[in-house]
Structure 1
C-alpha cells in the first residue's frame, strides 16, 4: 500500500494519491516527486519498491533494511539522504499477552519524507488520519520527532497494559496454579525482553540525533527531542522494573508449586509407611513358622491390636514431626 499525503494551504492533509493492496493503478511519478509530501508505504509490492528506487533514487538496501523484521534501530547518512530505522511496538489483537516490535524505516529526502514498514502500525495511522495536532508535511524534522514521541508513548501505554495483565495473572495464580498462567507470565517476560532491547536501540539513535548536525533543529524541535529522550529513559526503567517483578513472581510461584509437590510426596510417603506396618505384621503371622500367639484362640485379635497400636504410634510420631 502506498499513500502520498501533503499539507494544503489551510494546513489540512490532502491525500494526493492512494494505492491499495489490490490496486492495479499505475504509479504516477509526478505525484511521487511532489515537494513537501509524506509518502507512506506499507508492505510494498515489487512495483512500488521499483518506483521508490527509480523515481526517487532510493538505494535498494535502504528499502530492504526497512522491510527486514530483524533490522535493529540505526541512523545512516547517505549523501543528501538520511535513513532512520526505529523499532515500533505492536500488540497482537488475538492474544492479550503477545507484544513484539517491528522496524519502521524513515527516509528523509530533500523534498520528501518516506516511511516504510511491513505492517500497518497504529502509530502511522494516527498521522494518516490527521489525529496529531500541528502535524505538517513540510516540517520534516518536526514530523520525525513527532513520530518518535508518539512511538515512545505507545511503549509506555503497552508497558502499563503488561503491568495490568501481570496483576490479573498473579491474582489467578494465587487461587489456582495452572501451567497456563505460568506460560502467560513467560509470554509477558518475552515481550519485555523485546521492549527493552528495542528501547535501548532507540535510545542510541536519539542520542545520535541529538549530536547530529545533518538536519536543522529549532528551539521547539529541541524541546520535543528532550521530551522523547526523557520518555524513552522512563520506558526503559519501566520495562526493567516490570521484568524484575515478573521474573520474581514466576520464580516465587514455581518455588511454591515445587514446595506443594514436595509436601504431597512427603504425606504420601508417610501414609505408605503407616499402612505398611499391618501388612508386615500380618505377613509374619501368615507364615508356616512358629510365632508368638499362633496357638492362642485370641492370637488373630492380638495381631490386629498390635498392628493398630504400632501404626497409631508411628502416625502420631510422624504428625508430631510435621511429616504427615
Structure 2
C-alpha cells in the first residue's frame, strides 16, 4: 500500500504525488512494485536489498539515486520473540523521497500523526531521514519498557516455581535486546555517513541532529542496562536451579541412608544362622524398635548438618 504525503504543518495525505512530497510504501504488492520500478524508475536492486530482513543500516548510490537503509523496531510473533527489528529504505533523488518497508509497523503511522499534532515543518530529505531515526529511537525506548515489564513478570513467576517456559521466555527477551542493540548502533553510525553526504548548509540542522543523537544514545544505553540486568538474572536463576538440584540430591541420599539402616538389620537377622534370639519373647518387636531407633538417630544427625 502506498500513500502520497505532503508537508503542510505536518504530513497530510494527498490523492496523488506532488513535487516536494513523500511517497510512503508499506507491505508493497505487485502493483506498488510495478509503480516504483516502471513509473518512478527506482532501481530494482534497491527494493531487493530492502526486502532482506537481515539487511544492516547502510547507504548505497546508483546513478542519481541514494538508498538509505535504517532498522526500526516492531512487534513480532515469530518463534515466540516479542519484538524484532526490520529494515526500512528511504530512496531519494533530486525530486523524489520514497520510503519502502515490507512490513506494517507502528512507527510510520505514529510519526505521521506526531508530525500533524506538532505541526512539524520537514524542510528536506535529510531532515525527514533524521526525524525517522528519531521516531524509531522513541519506539525502541517504548518497547524496551515493555521488555522490562516482561522481565519483571518472568522473574516473579520464577520466584514461585522455576519452569522451563519462564527461562525460555527470558532467553527470547535476551535475543530481542541483542537485535535492538545492533540496530540502534547501526542507526547511530548511519548519522555520521549521512552527515558526510548532505554537507550543504541548507541540509544541516545541528539542533535536530543533536536531539537525534541524544535519543539514540539514550536508547543504546538503556538496551545495555537491561541486557546486563537480564544476563545477571539468568545467571542467578541458573545458580538457583543448580543449588536446588544439589539440595534434592542431598535429601535423596539422606533418605536412602536412613532407609538402609533397617534394611541392613533385617538382612543380618534374616540370615540362616544362629542369632541368639530364637527363644527371646518379642524378638521381632525388639528388632523393629532397634531399626526405628537407629533410623531416627540418622534422621536427627542429618537434620543437624542441614541435609534435611
Aligned residue in 2 for 1:193: 178
- Aligned positions of 1:3-14 closer than 5 A: 3-7=3-7, 11=9, 13-14=11-12
Match of 2:241 among 257, 263, 275: 257
User: 2: distance between equivalents of 1:131 and 1:170?
Assistant: 40
Q: Give 1:16's aligned residue.
A: 14
Tell me if 1:57 matches 2:41.
yes
Distance across 2 between alignment mates of 1:309 and 1:284: 17
SS at match of 1:114: strand
Question: Residues 12, 228 of structure 1: CA spacing in aligned structure 2 closer, same or farther, 3 A cutoff?
Answer: closer
Distance 2:217 2:12 in 1: 35
Shift of 1:96: 9.4
Aligned to 1:24: none
Quick check: 1:97–1:162 contact (8 Å CA) kept in 2? no
- Find the partner of 2:214 among 226, 230, 253: 230
Q: Summarize the Cα distance change of 1:280–1:12 in structure 2 as closer, same or farther, 3 Å threshold.
A: closer
Measured in 2, the distance between the counterparts of 1:160 and 1:45 equals 34
Aligned to 2:290: 306
- Matched residues in 2 for 1:132 and 1:95: separation? 36
Separation in 1 of the partners of 2:10 and 2:109?
16
Give, in whole Å, the separation in 2 of the partners of 1:54 and 1:215. 31
**Alignment correspondent of 1:86:** 70
TM-superposed CA distance for 1:111, in Å, is 1.4
**Secondary structure of residue in 2 paired with 1:40:** strand
Do 1:83 and 1:108's aligned partners in 2 also have CA atoms closer than 8 Å? Answer: yes
CA separation of 1:44/1:216 partners in 2, compared to 1, >3 Å: closer, same or farther?
A: farther
Would you say 1:150 and 2:148 are equivalent positions? no
CA distance in 1, matches of 2:242, 2:136: 41
For each residue in 1:160-188, what CA deviation from the matched residue of structure 2 results, as whole angstroms up to 9, or x when unmatched?
A: 22112212221222223222222221121
Structure 1 pair 201–128 and aligned structure 2 pair: CA distance change class (3 A): same
Q: Please state how far the C-alpha of 1:278 moved relative to its aligned partner.
A: 1.0
User: What's the CA shift for 1:38?
Assistant: 0.6
In 1, Cα distance between equivalents of 2:210 and 2:61: 22
Gap change, CA 1:217 and 1:103, over 3 Å in 2: farther
Distance 1:184 1:242 in 2: 15
Point out the more displaced range, 177-186 or 246-255.
177-186
Q: Which blocks of at least 5 consecutive residues in structure 2 are unaligned?
A: none
Cα 1:14–1:200, aligned 2, differ >3 Å: closer, same or farther?
closer
Deviation at 1:88, TM superposition (A): 0.3
Contact 1:73/1:86 (8 A) holds in 2: yes
Distance change >3 Å, CA 302–CA 203, structure 1 → 2? same
1:246 aligns with 2:230: yes
- 1:218 is displaced (CA, Å) by 4.8
Going from structure 1 to structure 2, the CA distance change for 1:13 and 1:151 (only over 3 Å counts) comes to closer
Q: Which digits, 9 at most, give the CA deviation of each residue in 1:239-259, with x for residues without a partner?
A: 111111111111211211221
Preserved contact between residue 68 and residue 89 of structure 2 (Cα < 8 Å): yes
Query: The residue matched to 1:104 in structure 2 has which SS?
Result: strand
Unaligned runs of at least 5 residues, structure 1 = 18-30
- Give the alignment's TM-score, normalised by structure 1: 0.86
1:183 aligns with 2:151: no
Deviations 1:234-280 (A, max 9, x none): 21111111111111111211211221122122112211211121122
* Structure 1 residues 164 and 260: CA distance shift in structure 2, 3 A: same
Whether the 8 Å CA contact 1:6–1:137 is kept in 2: the answer is no
